[in-house]
Structure 1
């Protein structure tokens, strides 16, 4: 295997996402996984900490300097400043420029030159004028990340001058109570070469749809991915849902119900889950009857997803 980074998980930089990045930084660096981070919180301390952890283990990351969502969506100046102030000498932290449909080509080129010392990457997310932009940006972009829902093959063919990554949202977001026990997540980790790509990505177990933070949950869900060895390692996702879901009370009790379903599945001889550090934590939580809060539950599911793919690619 070459030194290309294949897997690019896309994180929105909320607190627990950034903690997941810190806690898996070493695993990601070893497996050459490059996280893409879209900072959505005004304070950038968590981002700074996550990026320093990545640098400490010689990992890589792409930081979006013009986020679509959250506190920096109007102006990414502070993110650009952070990259300049703290990471100007680090070539492993790249600036990601998000190309949305309403963007002005002049602004894209301006951002490109502003961040030319940070290996700029394009994240293609709905922009519709590839011809002119591809001419003007030739040789200046180190990587193209295509969000599949927005980028057809014809659009993608204009940008073939650099490394190319296809990002598929394998997570079909529903109300917690409505998830089926099992569904297919993605086969892109196997099929990306057939798409003419150098790598693949996803939105982990969160999905592309952004929300500021949920209201009270009527049901608690634990989402865990696994590779099905009997089906050529296609990735599936299991949803473990609490049994009582008619009122928004007692999240701890509901987590206990969902966790019991998960542990029963793990203890089944046929289980295909990779025994990740997150799975070990889930086992400990179950043994101690402890509810760590829903943010931590999501963080554990994300860590499990990353460790599963790191193990597959290792």
Structure 2
């Protein structure tokens, strides 16, 4: 099982919609979504998932991005309430923080009897025995961010109930600083032998949430591909990198380089919806925006993992 960890920004939600029919039957790729914006776009994406008989883990105590204040979070809770009641599309998930108590975990479990639920651990402050007791009797999956020590919990919770969320993408401060090709990970080859429930990552995005983003210099496209049993990523960066330079020129340069690489290594990249969109733009000269660019990279990553899993 693969659990791509995504934030509920437009690009990432659109990417999920783009690959909603490529998640396996039965479903083997289950998005784990942390809301950071009002609920409307997330609800729309979940509706698309439901139409394909798919579901997602959704953090139900959001506190980042546009939901970082109590009024915004309360509005999100109200708007999402009806969707949250549907067990066929939403697996409620609690994200633990430094202020989360064992009672909070117990209350969360009690709120969703008979439902698939998730716990995202960001710390290791809860004792394994207490956590196991609080989760006892529920159909749970515990996801460990890098800031939590999963090894501390494995023996008590059992590997089949646990997933490590790997932050594999090496982020640069400037797009122009990305170079060539890099190893991205191999968790997709090791989780089953270790008896784990699955594996997780932040696709080809940084794991730490950051608000907004201003004008960019160079345009970057990061394309995931499989090399043997490993996943790699290739960075395509525009030569033009001034913030006031035409964005169309930057996209033209990047897409031309992607096309050249595909000519040299025609079987390197999976023919994902994202890659198909880039090719359409290259031919037409009508380019996407930065949000669409991220959408296409995320969908390509998920699609590539799906193909590597035999879906």
Q: Quick check: TM above 0.5?
A: yes
8 Å contact from structure 2 (residues 84, 92) kept in 1: no
Matching residue of 1:274 = 270
What whole-Å deviation, never above 9, does each CA across 1:44-66 have from its counterpart, x for those lacking one? 11111111111111112111011
Matching residue of 1:97 = 94
Structure 1 residues 156 and 101, CA gap change in structure 2 (3 angstroms): farther
Matching residue of 1:239 = 235
Distance 1:15 1:269 in 2: 32
Segments of 5+ residues of structure 2 without an aligned counterpart are none
**Do structure 1's residue 45 and structure 2's residue 19 form an aligned pair?**
no
**SS state of the match for residue 157, structure 2?**
coil
What whole-Å deviation, never above 9, does each CA across 1:179-202 have from its counterpart, x for those lacking one? 121101010000113444121111
**Do structure 1's residue 21 and structure 2's residue 8 form an aligned pair?**
no
8 Å contact from structure 1 (residues 143, 163) kept in 2: yes
Matching residue of 2:282 = 286
1:245-264 → structure 2 map (5 Å cutoff): 245-264=241-260
**Do structure 1's residue 72 and structure 2's residue 70 form an aligned pair?**
no
Distance 1:80 1:162 in 2: 31
Which residue of the other structure, out of 30, 38, 54, is the alignment partner of 1:34? 30
Moved more, 8-17 or 139-148: 139-148
Matching residue of 1:58 = 53
Shift of 1:156: 3.5
Matched pairs, number: 305
Matching residue of 2:131 = 133
Structure 1 residues 270 and 134, CA gap change in structure 2 (3 angstroms): same
Shift of 1:147: 2.1
Distance 2:31 2:126 in 1: 27
Structure 1 residues 212 and 245, CA gap change in structure 2 (3 angstroms): same
RMSD of Structure 2 on Structure 1 (CA): 2.1
TM-score (norm 2): 0.90
